[in-house]
Structure 1
């Protein structure tokens, strides 16, 4: 999203100036005004853009659907256009993006578990389900459940929120699935870090996590 890109520099002053020069926009349009997304402001120094390109930066509404109304109002934004909605629906819409990035590593883990089951039992056994379900559940818990329940999960760090949900999922999986104590610890060792990691990657999709805070959490 724009906020994440602006925070890490891929939507910033240097990139904007580079694109303006690369496209030759000054030769295409007669005016010298740029309307940028409001959430891109954290990465753009408007005075530098004007100094280097001659274009004046105006920050438009948060949502692209409000741009026509913003233009009709003479580049004036209403308070509603400046507000960032981030309820459960907005959070849930972002979850597919989180899952797309993790499906390949997840398939790798599932394949490794299947191979181990084959080596141990000479065939795929029902016992394998007790190993695969916790992994898939951990991915869904971190990628879907954490964003959905974000305001109500204790703790500030997203990794901690994910670890809490992962612990609860590991305990539930141990109760519901036919696993022993050793297997239960194994489930926890896989589920908790995986869910914690999935939750941590959601920081870039939120509207309130700072870039510095995200870096600190990743380093931690």
Structure 2
């Protein structure tokens, strides 16, 4: 439901797209009825009247969750209050953690490669030993960033101060980044320590902001 809301807001889940898929699947030759049960959170992007004109199927906005569709049909296609209620509990946030990590790993794999390459640059032009030593430490700062942005921020979402997700990520990343620097016995205000901390904070903030699309909250841009 939440991802549908995001797609509807961006215009990728709309009457035109639904009608296109219905016509491609030749749905009128498969079923005898002419109704489509649409997810509730897709309402912002779907004009039901246009949908019927484009493909001959009338759109009916069903319950928020797919698990309630059977009960929705049993109630003569009427949704009760529980079916319409939007929740985002700890369990619902926890389910999304693996999704966020799986979406982030490719980007951070490329970032890690770039970090290793940049870490090898020095007076000798490029040193494999320096690339390994510095790159390993810098890459280590990515782990608390992922933990802060993709795990801690979702789980502590209601309690982290601020409304913007990027700001919540900054707070989580700042704390975990500081912990990593102290673990390395590095001085936080030294050049290496500050660089590692800023990277952790920036990466955590990005992941937290990216998490907005998996939640029932909209971003400032819609």
| Common fold: TM-score over 0.5 | yes
TM-score category of the 2 structures, normalised to the smaller one: 0.7 to 0.9
Q: How does 1:65-104 map to 2 (within 5 A)?
A: 65-104=67-106
Q: How does 1:7-156 map to 2 (within 5 A)?
A: 7-115=9-117, 116=119, 119=127, 121=129, 124-125=132-133, 130-156=137-163
Kindly report the root-mean-square deviation, in angstroms, between the aligned alpha carbons of the 2 structures: 2.2
> Number of residue pairs matched?
212
Question: How many angstroms apart in 2 are the aligned matches of 1:207 and 1:123?
Answer: 42
Normalised by the length of structure 2, the TM-score is: 0.85
Gaps of 5+ in 1: 216-220
Query: Does the C-alpha gap of structure 1 residues 123 and 94 become closer, same or farther in structure 2, counting only changes over 3 Å?
Result: closer
Gaps of 5+ in 2: 121-125
Secondary structure of the equivalent of 2:53? helix
Question: How many angstroms apart in 2 are the aligned matches of 1:77 and 1:167?
Answer: 44
Say which structure is richer in helix: 1
Normalised by the length of structure 1, the TM-score is: 0.86
Question: How many angstroms apart in 2 are the aligned matches of 1:34 and 1:5?
Answer: 18
Question: How many angstroms apart in 1 are the aligned matches of 2:147 and 2:60?
Answer: 40
Say whether the 8 Å CA contact 2:116–2:136 is kept in structure 1: no
Question: How many angstroms apart in 2 are the aligned matches of 1:104 and 1:197?
Answer: 14
1:199 is matched with 208
How big is the shift at 1:124? 4.3
1:172 is matched with 179
Q: Which string of whole-angstrom CA distances, capped at 9 and with x for unpartnered residues, describes residues 134-186 of structure 1?
A: 21110121011111111111111111211222222222222222224221111
Instruction: From 186, 189, 193, give the equivalent of 1:184.
Output: 193
